[in-house]
Structure 1
Amino acid sequence: MSESQPSAAEPPGFPQPARPLRADGRPRRVGFELEFAGLSPEGAAAAIQEAFGGEVQSDSRFVKRVAGTAWGTFKVEVDARVLKERSYRALLSQMGFNLDDRTLDSLDEQVLRLASTVVPVEVVSPPLPVGEAGQIESLREALRRRLAQGTRAGLVYAFGLHLNPELPELEVDTIRATLQTYLLLLPWLKWRDDTDAVRRLTPFIQDFPAEYVRRLLQPGYCPGLGAFIDEFLAFNTTRNRSLDLMPLLAHVDPGRVRRALPDDPLTQARPTWHYRLPNCLVDDPDWRIARPWRDWLMVERLADDPQRLGQLMADWWARGFSLTEHRWIQHVDQCLARLDR
């Protein structure tokens, strides 16, 4: 089995989760974030409008919106806070440079041009019902036609695709089992996506601490919600994980998260996972967003099967597997093949 190729042909289409509804009976939703270079915010907004209609609105040269689509407003932004907030303008003013609007606009353009070699442009979708989530492929294709550049187009392009799937329910057992499954499947997910080497070196998709992994995978680990959150925050006071739980935990218990991260102004509470591992290969004509989405759904399926999850966890402990070893990837691949029958 090659470490960069799937073990079987990919099924066609955009798959649906085994649990497509929330606890209240409404359809689950999923948001998408695509990072890329080679295309200005104006060009990305035009691609959104081409795919889904709507009206382009401009907050600044660095932030655009496309309002009035079937699902709401898409946002396009240069993914760097200093650029989005244009804080360099205030710095120049403090230094005594009182520039007119025309000069400031020209400065913004030059800053954007320089930043575009390392700072991605990001498209953030509104939440789409999971039954309509396959429409996001229309945007991927529109970006490709406009020559957006993905993760492997440059040596320092650590661009990612982020998936934000709504949970079917906010019970602690669902959260715990999904995170346990994710940790057991993480080497397999990296192999499936062939996660870019530069992205692995960045701080944005760090692995969970080994001690926390061992605690979470202990047989019989079933804390209440408060204890689960407290222990998570004791080991993870950062959003820089390949599966970022901070938005979810901030939604479930905002007080606990605020106390643990009092200086974090960026976390927006929402009842979703924030899955950040996949590459964004938007310039590859053979790449589909359905591929990493399908792999995420395998995490959900195994998490919903306590017997198989318990067996895989027991395998991990009994056989002394390391989560970095190729034999564990092979074992997981074989287990998931049986699950998929």
Structure 2
Amino acid sequence: MDTPAFLPLPLGTDRRAGVEIEFGGLTETEAARIARDTLGGETMASGDHELRLTGSMLGDLEIYLDTALRDRLDGPLAEIGLDLSRTVVPIEIVTPPLTFDQLPQVDHLCAALRTAGAIGTRDGIFLGFGLHLNPEIPGPGIADLLPTLTAYALLEDRLRYGGEMDVARRVLPFSDPFPRGFVDCLAGARDWTLDDLFDACLSHNATRNRGLDMLPVLAHLDEDRVAQALDGLGAISARPAWHYRLPDCRIDEPAWSVAAEWNRWVLVERIAADADVLDRLKTAWQGHRAALTTLRPDWRAQVGEILAQAGLT
């Protein structure tokens, strides 16, 4: 089955994007071998249960068993724990920032992993494997950040409950939705500065467990302020990129593709680039919240109507 084409990002030019793929069914060694055979390059061990593929068509990739156990335990008991954890803990492949022309190779790699037996999030009740996309932000200013953040917040219910997200990942805490009060702030924002954005984000979202994790971007802009707000909750990898972690990884399903998930993010940016549509969504959200009889599905229906009227799908 042909996968959809990757659509270009509408905001800014020459923006790169990293990709993180979580899956089960293979060991990290098997996954590294398949990545090497598919993309070229050389593999080497870079730690316990961690390998690095260098010189590939996608640059240098990290491939590892994604669990804190590998960093905290030693000896035979640690190995037993790691082996048992493989039923629910994913292997993760992390790419460097990729050019737009390189992105189709990610789907090519996923197809090879699927053929070799990789499994996705719907293969078990408690798997919750995800696909994380890290598109470079178009710039560091409030005008570069606020429209996209607002567009995502207003579209999140549609992305989350519109039949695309596995129930297990909705329940697990790794990609929780933005609090409704935070969406209220964004929908009502007027003449915000970066300080206002920091205040709103950190007061409502002092956690990485969001469908759109803002902490890496904020840490890139002011690492000390983020560290102070988290107050010891953990280090943040600062980078000038959105950390979009909402999508499932359904790598074992032939109809699934990274491109389709990427294009959902592109829709967010298309809305951010259209001030009229974004204003209509903000106004509709405020009306939705003010009405006493509306339910959550009502908002998803409103979003669908507004996007259809604007020719955005």
TM-score normalised by structure 1 residue count: 0.84
C-alpha deviation, 1:36, in angstroms: 0.9
Whether the 8 Å contact between 1:184 and 1:323 is mirrored in structure 2 is: no
Q: Which residue of 2 aligns with 1:334?
A: 305
Alignment partner of 1:88 is 2:73: yes
Whether the 8 Å contact between 1:33 and 1:122 is mirrored in structure 2 is: yes
Bigger-Rg structure (1/2)? 1
Whether the 8 Å contact between 1:62 and 1:112 is mirrored in structure 2 is: no
Q: Which of 238, 243, 246 is matched with 1:269 structurally?
A: 238
AA at the equivalent of 2:42 = E
Q: Which residue of 1 aligns with 2:47?
A: 60
Taking structure 1 as reference, are residues 298 and 277 closer, same or farther at Cα in structure 2, changes over 3 Å only?
same
Q: Which residue of 1 aligns with 2:66?
A: 79
Alignment partner of 1:317 is 2:286: yes
Alignment partner of 1:168 is 2:138: yes
Separation in structure 2 between the aligned mates of residue 52 and residue 324 of structure 1, nearest angstrom:
48
Alignment partner of 1:242 is 2:242: no
Alignment partner of 1:16 is 2:3: no
Q: Which of 182, 186, 196 is matched with 1:216 structurally?
A: 186
Q: Which of 16, 19, 35 is matched with 2:22 structurally?
A: 35
AA at the equivalent of 2:6 = F
Separation in structure 2 between the aligned mates of residue 169 and residue 323 of structure 1, nearest angstrom:
37
Alignment partner of 1:155 is 2:125: yes
C-alpha deviation, 1:139, in angstroms: 0.9
C-alpha deviation, 1:82, in angstroms: 2.0
C-alpha deviation, 1:128, in angstroms: 0.5
AA at the equivalent of 2:8 = Q
Q: Which of 99, 117, 122 is matched with 2:87 structurally?
A: 117
Separation in structure 2 between the aligned mates of residue 54 and residue 20 of structure 1, nearest angstrom:
31
Taking structure 1 as reference, are residues 330 and 11 closer, same or farther at Cα in structure 2, changes over 3 Å only?
farther
Separation in structure 2 between the aligned mates of residue 128 and residue 324 of structure 1, nearest angstrom:
40
Alignment partner of 1:137 is 2:129: no
TM-score normalised by structure 2 residue count: 0.92
Whether the 8 Å contact between 2:3 and 2:259 is mirrored in structure 1 is: no
Whether the 8 Å contact between 1:16 and 1:131 is mirrored in structure 2 is: no
AA at the equivalent of 2:194 = L
Separation in structure 2 between the aligned mates of residue 174 and residue 143 of structure 1, nearest angstrom:
36
C-alpha deviation, 1:265, in angstroms: 4.1
The superposition leaves residues 16-40 of structure 1 with CA deviations (integer Å, 9 ceiling, x where unpaired) of 112351xxxxx11111111111100
Residue segments in structure 1 that go unaligned for 5+ positions in a row: 1-9, 22-26, 90-103
Separation in structure 1 between the aligned mates of residue 162 and residue 132 of structure 2, nearest angstrom:
16
Separation in structure 2 between the aligned mates of residue 242 and residue 250 of structure 1, nearest angstrom:
17
C-alpha deviation, 1:325, in angstroms: 2.6
The superposition leaves residues 68-91 of structure 1 with CA deviations (integer Å, 9 ceiling, x where unpaired) of 1234210111111122x1x222xx
Separation in structure 2 between the aligned mates of residue 163 and residue 124 of structure 1, nearest angstrom:
10
Give the length in aligned residue pairs.
309
Alignment partner of 1:294 is 2:258: no
Whether the 8 Å contact between 2:21 and 2:130 is mirrored in structure 1 is: yes
Q: Which residue of 2 aligns with 1:188?
A: 158
